[in-house]
Structure 1
Amino acid sequence: MFYRSSALFALFLLSVSTLRAQSSRWDSANFRSFETKLESLREKYHIPGISVGVMHGKTLVWAKGFGYADLENKVVPDENTVYQVASITKTFGSIILLQQIEAGKAQLGDPISKYGINLGARWGSDPRIKIKHLFTHTAMGNVWNAYKPGYAFRYNGSWYHQLDAVIRKASGSTFGQLVTDTIIRPLGLMRTAPSTGDSASFALSGFDRDTYLSWTAKPYDWNKKKKRLDTVKNFRYGFGPAAGLMSTVADLAVYSAAIDEKRFLRPETWEQAWTPFVTERGKKVQYGLGWFVTRYKGVKMIWHTGWWMGYSALFLKVPEKDITFIILANSQDVSRPFYHIVQPIPGFFGMHNPFHRNLKNKVQASKFAKAFLDHFME
């Protein structure tokens, strides 16, 4: 009887300890510590401004801006500040394309030639290259497999953009119109729109361009030689299923909650999107259908980065813990420092994966992501 009581008491203490640990993640002291870490990282990587949000469940429980959205005028960003979200757009593109597939208007196994896609060079409209290969960044192959599709992960945003042709032919509409009618307006996203650099697509938003730009963080780039932040000028931000959406932390939080509710797609389709692609040799890659899918300490991470001239972003979901992290920046350096891209020499010790042990392979390579995981996942 004594041993049974002791065991029950130990179980009670463990439960209390677990509850305290869970509650401490959401107390003010933890958020203050997290803020200090983020500000330290922002300064270390010379980022002018960031907007950050943390979600617990479907609620944006904390949001804050750091630094400046406009250095010259000392404008402090917040959760409603607009940024180019770059490749986070791919998650929206994934939804739109998967809707066409659910409707039977396209198939993952369709050859790219069916949609008039020509990738140029050695690839062209090779009938072996399927829609699924562009979708999962496995179309390029490498020198070891004669560049056959389906054998290796090689991230290629330009080729992902080619899925626009599939969306157009399958739906009879443009990606801009579909993303506006299917996601932006139904969710009531207040400041999400196609890039101001694409006038026809941006017009779908109904926003006045000058007003919208006044909400937008100015883009900067760190000049290493002169050790200063320079304003990015005369760079055209295009638009398509691979990149070009402009949004805010507040809007992406609403989008994240809709994903948690399994809106837009069937539950089994969401599961397919969040399942790593398996190569012809049976190896799982770190990408599903428009999402990175990796594990950290045994826990599944669903995420995407964004990286473009003057902007960078990270959108990270941890379904098992019911938490989401959103960070948007007006320089490249929420993403750039953590890629560690090397330029492999073709045929010299092989075309090795240039994204080994970096942000294209594991989300915790990002010090911003690691700070979030350390504060809210443990």
Structure 2
Amino acid sequence: MIPTRPLLALILTFIIAGQGLFVAGARATAQSSLSDAARVARVESQLENLRQELKIPALSAAIVKDQKVLWAKGFGFADVENKVPATEHTPYHLASLTKTFASTILMQLVQEGKIKLDDPVSKYGITLESEGVIRVRHLLSHTSEGNPGESYRYNGNRFGELDKVIQRATGKSFGELLIANILDPLDMTETAPNVFRIVGTKSPSGTDPAAEAEVKAAVMDLIAGFNAGSVDQIERRLAPQQNRFPGEGGFLTSFIDASELRGAFQSGFKLNFRVDNLETAVYGTTAVSTFFMSGTITPSNGIPRADGPWRSSLFWNKQDGAWKLVHSHQSAMNRAMITEKHQQRFDTVSKSLAQPYALDREFKTRKSSYPQGFSTSAGLMSSVLDMAKYDIAIDQNKFLAREIQQLAFTSTVSTKGEALPYGLGWFTQNYKGTKMLWHYGYWTANSSFILKVPERNITFIVMANTDNLSRPTDLGGGDALSSPVGMAFLKTFIFPEKFGEPIPEINWNASAQELKDQLQQVSGKPYADVYSKDLITKFRINQSVGQATEAARVMKMYGELFSKPFPEDLAKMPVVAQLVKVLDNEDKTMEFTLTRAQQVRIFSIGEGQAGEMFDYGWIENANKGTSVWEMQEKETTHAGGAAKNRKVDVVITLEPGKYKLRYKTDDSHSFDRWNALPPEINFWGIAVYAK
């Protein structure tokens, strides 16, 4: 742990972490005088509490201040079964924090003039569905879907297509440049790509090594024939009936037409491929060889382009004393090419990697497994101390000129002129004048978070070996304040100075009335909105660990404390009929009669999504039993809170007669029994007003 805490800090931790109704004056005095060591102690206490609450086996965190590691520590067990404690050196999977590294590499290529942000991605062999031209900046900023540049939609798969941009622009993989440009120069020995041996053929025991050498020589002879443009050399290595699986790419076609290939070479067509990780298994007179292949293709127009990497599998027969190719299969790799250096790093880092865990259906922590693969989108593994090295290097402009780095740190502006929550590989957020640069990771059995506050020259880094650091949040929506660990850091290191006073703690386990009393004391403060975010986070945490009853209590409290008032104009209108505060599994009816034709205003809030309503109201003709009006999802607007909260506010004309007002709910998400954020108005049901 860095550094050792003094006794005073430990005492302050005990005092500050205590629960109960806060006394604003007493806590203000204590917190405003906290040193860095005391603040660290407070964050330590909160992180450990959150780790236990979120049922995370291991968590490691670090704080970098003024380009130095202020503090770093591990919590819990990296390996529960073997009681291996987590430390600041424990590597974790980073998931999407990998995107920040991809941003650095890509912006280096922009700086070097090897790519342009406005290059169409089709230039790099990328084909994606779109309503317009997708450019490199659109993939980097998650704005490639629909009309490119118009809106933000986080999409890790599309971001991963940037592998191809790097490969074709440089002839090298993202992983190769990552190691050469970042990991090796910074001595990040606790960081590695998440790779696995997909080229791992091994001969049966007792196989003659000379036979393996012969097959490897045949592979290299075949590739050399293509690189030399020698059809005769290629044909010597082909069996009479060679073929391959149909599919993308590859350097062979089914039943090569020698005359056609010779004509292509004569017209200027050239290949320059290299082979990596060649391995061979021999089974008597048959053999298989696997390897990675990449390089350049020069068409007859003389303009070379990068190609690959491909995963190649070749199958051989020994005929007339020579190895002949009988079958081949090449598949495009949608992730960075794995080299032996990647594998060596992986083997070293994986020995101390935190073990993966997940919550089962009963919300008990069980051993899990990590996802495999590595790309510009995800797949890097690292420790908080190595991430601290990376963060310091960014701030020292070791990778990029300042203006290029700031370009990555600037919010993307949509084609409609709206500031979006993402820059180029980083989330960017402005909270009441304070700029925050951040990213999160969220994948199977792992989660992570990095938050930079440039004006304070401070960074917070945290990693975990379950997904629950990120699952109960709205980080994908662009709000860093939805992270419970992020909020713990901000309220301790950033907000006291920003708002000129300490941020009082709230006892969320208090009764509704006690909470109202606490919140009343801070209702006029500029940071009052922090508490509504805290309560939402509390709800999400309860949901994520299976505490449904407590989650419902918290959301009921949220509705009482933070709902907007009922629309004043509606409150003044005469009520014709209403069905309100409707609960789960209810089918309510209320009759009403109109003596004349008149306009009525219908106000209803319910649950719906994807064109379907689950909690909704309608009006029936009581005599005929037919519907005269019904709430339909396509005609609703968002009612605030969860996206599925839908609202309708319309005026219709009803003829004189008897009517039934109806409202029906399903088995979840109803008044004061919310399973997601409630609507902004504490209302669930339908009401009809006389105009």
TM-score, with length taken from structure 2? 0.46
The answer on 1:226 being equivalent to 2:362 is yes
Distance 1:62 1:139 in 2: 39
Structure-2 separation of matches of 1:23 and 1:133: 46
- Residue 79 (structure 1) aligned with residue 84 (structure 2): no
2:154 alignment counterpart: 155
Shift of 1:21: 7.6
User: 2: CA distance between counterparts of 1:202 and 1:77?
Assistant: 29
Structure 1 counterpart of 2:463: 328
Shift of 1:360: 2.8
Report the counterpart of residue 186 of structure 1 in structure 2. 185
C-alpha separation in 2, matches of 1:33 and 1:163: 41
CA contact (8 A) 1:296 1:364 kept: no
Q: 2:79 is paired with a residue of what secondary structure?
A: coil
Cα deviation code 1:43-86 (max 9, x no counterpart): 11111110011111111111111111011011111111011111
Q: Show structure 2 runs of 5+ residues with no match.
A: 1-29, 199-336, 497-691
Q: 2:141 aligns with which of 116, 136, 143?
A: 136
Equivalence for 1:165: 164
Q: Which residue of 2 aligns with 1:204?
A: 341
After superposition, the Cα gap between the structure-2 partners of 1:270 and 1:246, relative to the gap in structure 1 and judged at 3 Å, is: same
Query: Secondary structure at 1:258's aligned position in 2?
Result: helix
CA distance in 2, matches of 1:160, 1:77: 31
Q: Which amino acid aligns with 1:190?
A: T
Question: What SS is found at the alignment partner of 1:108?
Answer: coil
CA contact (8 A) 1:198 1:239 kept: no
1:371 equivalenced with 2:371 (yes/no): no
- Sort the Cα spacing of 1:55 and 1:23 in 2 relative to 1 into closer, same or farther, 3 A: farther
Q: Report the Cα offset of residue 214 of structure 1.
A: 2.2
Q: State the distance in 2 between where 1:165 and 1:210 align.
A: 26
1:310 counterpart = 2:427? no
Residues 1:267 and 1:198: Cα distance change in structure 2 (over 3 Å): farther
Q: Name which of 392, 414, 436 aligns with 1:257.
A: 392
CA distance in 1, matches of 2:40, 2:118: 46
Q: Larger % of strand: which?
A: 2
Counterpart for residue 597 of structure 2: none
SS at structure 1 position matched to 2:472: helix
Q: CA separation of 1:246/1:259 partners in 2, compared to 1, >3 Å: closer, same or farther? A: same
SS at match of 2:96: helix
Shift of 1:23: 7.1
Structure 1: gaps spanning 5 or more residues: 1-19, 141-146, 340-357
1:24 to 34, 52, 65: 34
Tell me the matched-pair count.
328
Output the aligned Cα RMSD: 1.9
Identity of aligned residues (%): 41
Q: Which residue of 1 aligns with 2:46?
A: 37
Per-residue deviation, 1:109? 0.9
Structure 2 counterpart SS, 1:336 = coil
Contact 2:132 2:147 in 1 (8 A): no
1:215 and 2:214 are equivalent in the alignment: no
SS in 1 for 2:411: coil
Partner of 1:100: 109
How many angstroms apart in 1 are the aligned matches of 2:340 and 2:169?
23
State the one-letter code of the partner of 2:491. Answer: D
| Matched ranges for 1:47-126 at <5 A | 47-119=56-128, 122-123=129-130
Q: CA deviation at 1:138?
A: 0.5
For 1:310 and 1:236, locate their aligned partners in 2 and report how far apart those are by CA, in whole Å: 8
TM-superposition CA deviations, 1:275-308 (whole Å, max 9, x none): 1000011001011110000022321101110111
Query: Does structure 1 retain, via aligned residues, the 8 Å contact 2:132–2:148?
Result: no
Q: CA deviation at 1:232?
A: 1.4
In structure 2, distance between residues paired with 1:132 and 1:336:
28
Equivalent AA in structure 2 for residue 106 of structure 1: I
- Per-residue Cα deviation, 1:140-190 (whole angstroms, up to 9, x for no partner): 1xxxxxx21111000001000001111111111111100000000001112
How far apart, CA to CA, are the structure 1 residues paired with 2:98 and 2:345?
A: 22
Query: Could you say if the C-alpha distance between residues 208 and 88 of structure 1 is closer, same or farther in structure 2, counting changes exceeding 3 Å?
Result: closer
In 2, Cα distance between the equivalents of 1:318 and 1:25?
A: 19
1 or 2, which has the higher helix percentage?
1
Which residue of structure 2 lines up, in the alignment, with residue 143 of structure 1? Answer: none
Structure 1 residues 23 and 56 mapped into 2: Cα distance closer, same or farther (>3 Å)? farther
Deviates more, 1:291-300 or 1:367-376: 291-300
Check 1:188–1:42 CA distance in 2 against 1; reply closer, same or farther (3 A cut).
Answer: same
* Counterparts of 1:333 and 1:132, CA distance in 2: 31
In 1, Cα distance between the equivalents of 2:171 and 2:456?
39
Contact residue 196 and residue 202 of structure 1 kept, 8 A: no
Tell me what 1:175 maps to: 174
CA shift in 2, pair 1:59/1:208, >3 Å = closer
8 Å CA contact 2:89, 2:385 repeated in 1: yes
Offset at residue 32 of structure 1 (A): 2.2
User: Which residue is equivalent to 1:268?
Assistant: 403
1:205–1:328 CA distance, 2 compared to 1 (3 A): same
Query: Hey, what's the Cα distance between the residues in 2 that align with 1:174 and 1:229?
Result: 37
Q: Counterpart of 1:360?
A: 477
Go from structure 1 to structure 2 and tell me whether the alpha carbon gap of 1:25 and 1:198 turns closer, same or farther (over 3 Å shift): farther
Max radius of gyration: which structure? Answer: 2
User: Residues 112 and 227 from structure 1, CA distance in 2 versus in 1: closer, same or farther, beyond 3 angstroms?
Assistant: same
**Equivalent-residue separation in structure 2 for 1:210 and 1:92 (angstroms):** 21
Greater mean deviation of Cα atoms: 178-187 or 102-111: 102-111
Distance 1:371 1:198, change over 3 A: farther
Supply the distance in 1 between the matched residues of 2:63 and 2:140 (Cα, whole angstroms).
28
Is 2:191–2:349's contact at 8 Å kept on the other side of the alignment? no
- The 1:127–1:113 alpha-carbon spacing in structure 2 relative to 1, beyond 3 Å, is farther
- How far, CA to CA, are the matches of 2:433 and 2:406 in structure 1? 18
Q: Distance in 2 between matches of 1:371 and 1:94?
A: 27
What TM-score do you get using the length of structure 1 for normalisation?
Answer: 0.83
